[in-house]
Amino acid sequence: MITFLKILRLLPPEIAHGLALNALNILYRTRLLRFFYVKPKANPQIFAGLTFQNMLGTAAGLDKNGDYIDCLGELGFGFLEVGTVTPEKQYGNSKPRVFRYFEENAIINKLGFNNKGVDHLLKNLKSKKYDGIVGVNVGANKWSSEKERVQDYLLCIEKVYKHADYITVNISSPNTPKLREFHNEKNITGLVDAIDLKVSELNIQTPLLLKISPDESKESIDRIIEVVKKSKFTGIIATNTTIDKSSLSNSKLRDIDGGLSGEPLLKKSTDTLRYIKNKSDNQIPVIGVGGVMDSQSFNEKIQAGSSLVQIYTGFVIKGPSIVSEILRN
């Protein structure tokens, strides 16, 4: 398995990602996965009225279309978050669009919500065998106008809410033009009000979370906290990737477009998490994500006030063994 991971490092990032997940799926389907990975013992946690088998889950982006729910679930994650999914399938931005830097434990991506569309994801949700918690991360199509983007979120929510354990509204990807403008006062209020109306109209009981950017000012975060408090949203996911690359030790990497994730994001994302918990007087539940590479960074999120923790880059760079390594400590 170590040799296989070394080979993956030599391949282009997107090819390596697909190959790794397909290999996991083959091992799962042939019932061989259990010989490579031992599931950690359950440590149940309650969040948003749901019972999670443990505090560690996958972040959106790892399994965009829900094609690998069952094999990822077999690794011992406490929950999975699939997506980001949009109403219609889209290719995303042009390649190359993912850049790995093993010496920095970092990834820069400018994928742009590449996915097969919400209907494809819905089929996978309906047919999954995994009985753990599965959240769905929803976004807007790149070509949608400002008003159409609100409708994109509503359409995705309406389609998946009966088959998702929770729903994350993603307003924080830096790779879809103007998407982060939803952090602005007028836009965030309009979006949340529209979602609240849809939730009331359909009597949706599925918990809703808002995934935010780590690049917002304190004033912007204060505003988001107040909007969430008054809304039907349950909590916040902090945070998405950052466009601030000043934390990279290799200055040549700082001019590459896209969102930075991995170890260089840890401090910024955790600071945002801690600020939200303190500013809201612990009234808003938060899922922490960004820079979790080991048990130490996992524990940093917990100590900052995170109820649950997600990983993405740590899993990509270190492989599936990171799950048991984190959870057994």
Question: Is 127 one of the catalytic residues?
Answer: no
The position carrying tokens 């995994």 is 130
Structure-token pair, residue 268: 């910024």
Instruction: Give me the catalytic one of 172, 173, 247, 306.
Output: 173
Q: Positive or negative CA dihedral for 118, 23, 102, 296?
A: positive
Cβ contact 145:89 at 8 Å = no
Identify whether the C-beta of residue 210 lies closer than 8 Å to the C-beta of residue 228.
Answer: yes
Beta-strand ranges (E) seen in 203-258 are 208-212, 235-238
Counting Cα atoms < 13 Å in the Cβ hemisphere of 175 gives: 24
Q: Which residues contact 157 (CB under 8 A, 6 or more apart)?
A: 138, 167, 169, 195, 198, 199, 204, 208
Picking from 318, 250, 187, 322, the residue whose alpha carbon sits closest to that of residue 309 is 322
Specify the residue for token string 């998490």: 273
Residues 3, 317 contacting (CB under 8 angstroms): no
Class of residue 126 by CB neighbours under 10 A (exposed 0-12, middle 13-18, buried 19+): exposed
Residues with catalytic roles: 173
